[in-house]
Amino acid sequence: MNTHGLLRQHELRVDGEKRKYWLQPPIAILEPGRLYPLVVVLHGSFMSSKRMMQFSELTDLAHHHNCFLCYPDMSYIWQWNVPPGFANKDAIFVERLIDKLIADEAIDPQRIYATGFSSGADILHLMACTSLSNKIAAFAPVCSNLDREWAAGKEHERPTSILMINGTHDKFNKWDGDTKRWMSVKDSFEYWQTHNRISSARESLMLPQRTERAEGNPTKAHLIQSFDEVTGSEVSLVTIEGGGHTWPADRPEKWFSKLVLGHTHKDKFGTELIWKFFERHSLKG
C-alpha cells in the first residue's frame, strides 16, 4: 500500500529465495483510480541499492513527477560482471517484482521504466533482448555495453526504446568493448537502431556542464537522438568525452574515486534527461 513518499524495504520470495527491494512511492496523496509510472533502478557491482539511491539522485523524481521508484537488491553485487547467458535469476526477480507491484500498487503497466548503472545497466540490455521488453516501456543504461550472445539470441522483434549514457574513458565498461563478450558502445547503439529499423539520427546536441564546478574537468557531453516515426520508438546516446565509469551529477568528486573511476561530468542532466526520455514513451506507443 502507498504510504505517501515513505521509503520502505520489502521482501519477495522468488523460486524459494527471499529477495529484498526498496520502494519509494510518490510524495503526493494518490488520486483514487489514477495509475502512476514506475521506475526500476538497478545498482552496479560492489554497491548496494541504498548507495544507488544516493548515487543516481533519482529520489526527487518521486516527489516532482509523482512516480514510484523501486530499488531491487541484485544478486550480482559481489561479481565483476553480470553472468553470461539468458538464464539470469535477477532478470526473473525483476519480472516477478514488476508483476507484484502492478498487482499491489497504483502503477500504470503501460509506463514502467528501468535504468541502472554498470552491471545494473548491463542487465538492462539483457532484459531489452527478452520478453521483459513487453513489460518495460523504455530502458536507460548508464556505463554499459551489449553482450554479443544476448544480441545474437534476441527473443523478439518489438521496437525497444533505449537511451545509453557512456564515457569515452570508462576503464570498466570500455567504449571500444572487448574481443570476447562486450560490443563497443558504437556497435551497441547501432544494433538497437537496426533492431528498431531506424536509418538516421538527429544532429548531435551539446549538453551543459556547470562551469563554476568544472575547473580542471575535461569532460564534454553530447546527445544523439534517433526516432522511428511510425512506432514512436527511440534509440539515443549520450557520449561523455573524457568521462569515466560514473553517473553524471553535479557533486564533489573525491580524489580516490576520480583516480579509480575517472572524471564525472558535472551536471545533473543525467537524471533529468533520463526522466524526460521516459516521459516520451509508453507501451501503447
Q: What is the pLDDT of residues 52-78, one digit of tens each?
A: 988 888 887 777 889 999 999 999 887
Per residue in 252-282, pLDDT (tens digit) is 777 567 777 888 887 767 788 899 999 999 9
Identify residue 258 by its one-letter amino acid code.
K
pTM score: 0.93
CB 84 within 8 A of CB 129: no
Q: Is the pLDDT of residue 4 over 70?
A: no
Q: 215 pLDDT exceeds 70? A: no
**Per-residue pLDDT band at 212 (split at 50, 70, 90):** very low
| Average of per-residue pLDDT values in the chain | 89
Distances (CA, A) of 147 to 115, 122, 159, 180, 187: 17, 8, 19, 9, 11
Per-residue model confidence as pLDDT tens digits over 37-51: 999 999 999 898 988
Residue for grid cell 507491484: 101
In this predicted model, what pLDDT tens digit does every residue of 155-211 receive, in sequence order? Answer: 999 999 999 999 999 999 999 999 999 999 999 999 999 999 998 777 677 776 654
DSSP code per residue over the chain:
---TT--EEEEEEETTEEEEEEEE--SSPPPTT--EEEEEEE--TT--HHHHHHHHT-HHHHHHS--EEEEE--GGGGSSSPPSSS--HHHHHHHHHHHHHHHHS-EEEEEEEEEEETHHHHHHHHHHTSGGGGT-SEEEEES---BHHHHHT-------EEEEEEETT-SSS-TT--SSSBPPHHHHHHHHHHHTT----PPPEEE---GGG-TT---EEEEEEEE-TTT--EEEEEEEETB-SS---SS---HHHHHHH-BPPSSTHHHHHHHHHHHT--TT-
What domains lie within the chain, and their CATH numbers? 8-195+209-279 (3.40.50.1820)
Longest dimension (CA), the chain: 53
Contacts of 211 (CB under 8 A, 6+ apart): none
241, pLDDT greater than 90: yes
pLDDT of residue 61: 77
